[in-house]
Homo-oligomer: A and B are copies of this chain.
Amino acid sequence: MNTDIQRNNLISEGDRESFYRVVFSRRDVRGQFLPDPVDEKVLARILQAAHHAPSVGFMQPWDFIIIESEKIRRQIHNVFNQAHNEAAEMFEEERKETYKSLKLEGIMDAPVNICITCDRRRTGPVVIGRTHIREMDIYSSVCAIQNFWLAARAEGLGVGWVSIFHEDALKNILDLPEHIVPVGYLCLGHVKYFYDRPELELVGWQNRMPLEELVYFDKWGNQEEPEGSSLKKELKNAEKCFIER
């Protein structure tokens, strides 16, 4: 008998519903952070969830820099501001003012910031599954970020991913060696509330796309369902079940 296998029915129907509740209520939080400290027991669980993300060749390329120092958060906030001003100039006139009015980070508001990195040299130069697509290690760190984000929501905490930086400025502040990529910079904390839908949808910046238009069959561009398939109908049904309250 193989003792390395999971017991049957480890995941129940109730677990499944709970899981989807977490997925559909997760938000990118920017303006609703509270200053209340994050319990270390909770942070530890969230970090373990991140550490149990999939990784190419089981290389676990991530590290986690927990940033609570106000001085360092201030430095990071400054380089965000610089990049944010540059970014505003890239939008066309009509959208520029809207862009400037959006709050896009909670660096100083959230009590904990976390940088999740990718060590491109971990476990040596040849890694199973990374031999032909070199970015697979970075993708593993992104999977850890998504596990972290969902786990935080399951704990009732909010996360915001801040990506408006010059990468070198961030690496410099955090003393990252050359081969370490700062894949995600996250703000973590308790929140006043979670929005019902993504903020960029609520403010009318961008709509949710209909999923059935993003699904192809066998080849790019083929939206004709195979005979007997009713996947597109089921996609709409699933959306109704999950999204409408």
Contact = CB atoms under 8 A, between A and B. Distances in A.
Interface of A: 2-6, 10-12, 14-26, 28, 40-41, 43-45, 47-49, 51-54, 56-60, 62-69, 72, 83, 86-87, 90-91, 99, 102, 104, 123, 126, 128-133, 135-136, 138-139, 142-143, 145-147, 149-151, 153-156, 161, 163-167, 174-177, 180, 183-184, 193-198, 200-202, 205-206, 208-209, 211, 214-221, 226, 229-231, 234-235, 237-239, 241-242
Given A196-B6, A217-B66, A218-B72, A211 B51 contact: yes
Question: So how many copies of this chain end up in the complex?
Answer: 2
B41 A25 contact: no
A206 B129 CA distance: 14
A104 B47 CA distance: 28
A23 B49 contact: yes
B48 A238 contact: yes
A6 B22 CA distance: 12
Contacts of A63: 214-216, 220
Contact of A25 (B6, B87, B167, B198): B6
Contact of A174 (B56, B138, B176, B219): B219
Nearest to A65: B216
Contact of A139 (B20, B142, B174, B220): B142
B164 A195 contact: no
A176 B218 CA distance: 11
A175 B220 CA distance: 6
B164 A129 contact: yes
A136 B150 contact: no
B21 A11 contact: yes
Contacts of A235: 44, 47-48
